[in-house]
Chain A
Amino acid sequence: MSTQTGAAPPPALEVQGLTKRFGGFVALDGVSLAVPEGSITGLIGPNGAGKSTLFATVAGFLPPGGGRVLLRGRDVTGAPPWRLHAAGLVRTFQIPRPFARLTVAENLAVAAPGQEGERLPLPWFARGRIREQERALRRRAMQVLERLDLAAHADRPASALSGGQKKLLEIGRALMSGADLILLDEPAAGVNRTLLRAIAETIARLNREDGITFLVIEHDLDLVAELCEPVHCMAEGRVIASGRMAEVRADPAVAEAYLGMALLPDAAP
Chain B
Amino acid sequence: MEAAALYVATMLTLAGIYAALAVGLNLQWGLTGLMNFGGLGFVAVGAYTSAILTAGESAQHLGGFGWPWWAAWPLAAAAGALLALPIGAISLRLRADYLAIATLGVAEILRLAVRNEDWLTGGPLGVPGIPRPFEAFGQPWGQLAYLALVAAMVAALFALAQATAHSPFGRTLRAIRDDEEAAKAAGKNPAAFRLQAFVLGAACMGLAGAMLAHFFKFMGPDALDPVTTTFLVWVMLIAGGSGNNFGAVLGAVAVWAVWAATDWLAAQLPGELATRAAYVRLFLIGLALQLILLYRPQGLIGERPPRPPA
Residues of A near any B CB (own CB < 8 A): 59-61, 80-82, 85-86, 90-93, 97-103, 105-107, 109-111, 113, 115-120, 123-124, 127, 130-131, 133-135, 137-138, 154-155, 157, 173, 177
Across chains A and B, the number of contacting residue pairs, with CB separation under 8 Å, is 119
Chain A proximity of B301: nearest CB distance (Å): 15
Which of the candidate stretches B50-58, B130-138, B184-192, B270-278 sits at the interface with the other chain? B184-192
Contact of A82 among B160, B188, B309 (CB under 8 A): B188
A120→B172 CA distance, assembly (Å): 12
Given contacts A85-B185, A110-B186, A111-B186, contact A97 B308 (CB under 8 A): no
Count residues of chain B with CB under 8 A from any CB of chain A: 33
Contact A130–B308 (Cβ < 8 Å): no
A137→B309 CA distance, assembly (Å): 9
Which of the candidate stretches B173-181, B209-217, B258-266 sits at the interface with the other chain? B173-181
8 Å CB interface, B186-209 against A: 186-189, 193, 196, 200
8 Å CB interface, B134-187 against A: 160, 163-164, 167-172, 174-175, 177-179, 181-187
Given the complex, which residues of B lie within 8 Å of A135, measured CB to CB? 309-310
Given the complex, which residues of B lie within 8 Å of A137, measured CB to CB? 168
Q: Is B243 an interface position by the 8 A CB rule?
A: yes
Contact A109–B179 (Cβ < 8 Å): no
Contact A177–B179 (Cβ < 8 Å): no
Contact B163–A124 (Cβ < 8 Å): yes
Contact of B308 among A86, A155, A157 (CB under 8 A): A155
Contact of A113 among B182, B183, B187, B310 (CB under 8 A): B187
A90→B171 CA distance, assembly (Å): 20
Contact A123–B167 (Cβ < 8 Å): yes
A154→B174 CA distance, assembly (Å): 17
Given the complex, which residues of B lie within 8 Å of A92, measured CB to CB? 185
A92-B185, A102-B175, A118-B168 are known; give 13 further A-B pairs, CB within 8 A.
Answer: A61-B181, A81-B184, A90-B187, A99-B182, A105-B308, A106-B305, A107-B175, A111-B186, A123-B168, A123-B170, A157-B305, A173-B185, A177-B186
Q: Is B303 an interface position by the 8 A CB rule?
A: yes
| Residue of B168, B170, B179, B187 with most chain A CB atoms under a 10 A cut-off | B187
Contact of B163 among A105, A111, A123 (CB under 8 A): A123
Given the complex, which residues of B lie within 8 Å of A97, measured CB to CB? 179, 181-182, 185
6 pairs from A and B in contact (CB 8 Å cutoff) = A59-B185, A98-B178, A99-B182, A119-B169, A130-B168, A177-B187
Chain B proximity of A229: nearest CB distance (Å): 26
Contact A85–B243 (Cβ < 8 Å): no
Given contacts A99-B178, A134-B309, contact A118 B187 (CB under 8 A): no
Given the complex, which residues of B lie within 8 Å of A91, measured CB to CB? 185
Contact B169–A102 (Cβ < 8 Å): no
Contact of B305 among A110, A116, A155 (CB under 8 A): A155
A89→B181 CA distance, assembly (Å): 15
Given the complex, which residues of A lie within 8 Å of B169, measured CB to CB? 117-120, 123
Given the complex, which residues of B lie within 8 Å of A173, measured CB to CB? 182, 185-186
Contact B175–A127 (Cβ < 8 Å): no
Given the complex, which residues of A lie within 8 Å of B303, measured CB to CB? 101
Contact of B243 among A99, A101, A120, A134 (CB under 8 A): A101
Given the complex, which residues of B lie within 8 Å of A82, measured CB to CB? 184, 187-189
The digit string for B34-65, where 1 denotes a CB below 8 A from any CB of A, is 00000000000000000000000000000000
Given the complex, which residues of B lie within 8 Å of A131, measured CB to CB? 309
A109→B193 CA distance, assembly (Å): 16
Given contacts A127-B163, A134-B309, contact A110 B175 (CB under 8 A): yes
A86→B164 CA distance, assembly (Å): 24
A97→B180 CA distance, assembly (Å): 9
The digit string for B280-310, where 1 denotes a CB below 8 A from any CB of A, is 0000000000000000000000010110111
Given contacts A101-B243, A102-B305, A124-B164, contact A90 B185 (CB under 8 A): yes
Given the complex, which residues of A lie within 8 Å of B309, measured CB to CB? 131, 134-135, 138
A118→B193 CA distance, assembly (Å): 9
A118→B163 CA distance, assembly (Å): 12
A92→B168 CA distance, assembly (Å): 22
Chain B proximity of A85: nearest CB distance (Å): 3
Given the complex, which residues of A lie within 8 Å of B160, measured CB to CB? 124
Contact of B186 among A85, A116, A133 (CB under 8 A): A85
Chain B proximity of A173: nearest CB distance (Å): 6
Contact of B183 among A110, A116, A133 (CB under 8 A): A110
Top 5 closest A-B pairs, CB basis? Answer: A117-B168, A123-B167, A85-B187, A97-B182, A111-B186
Given the complex, which residues of B lie within 8 Å of A81, measured CB to CB? 184-185, 187
A115→B171 CA distance, assembly (Å): 11
A80→B169 CA distance, assembly (Å): 20
Contact A103–B185 (Cβ < 8 Å): no
A161→B132 CA distance, assembly (Å): 54
Residue of A with least CB distance to B166: A123
Residue of B with least CB distance to A96: B182
Given the complex, which residues of A lie within 8 Å of B171, measured CB to CB? 102, 106, 109-110
Contact B179–A86 (Cβ < 8 Å): no
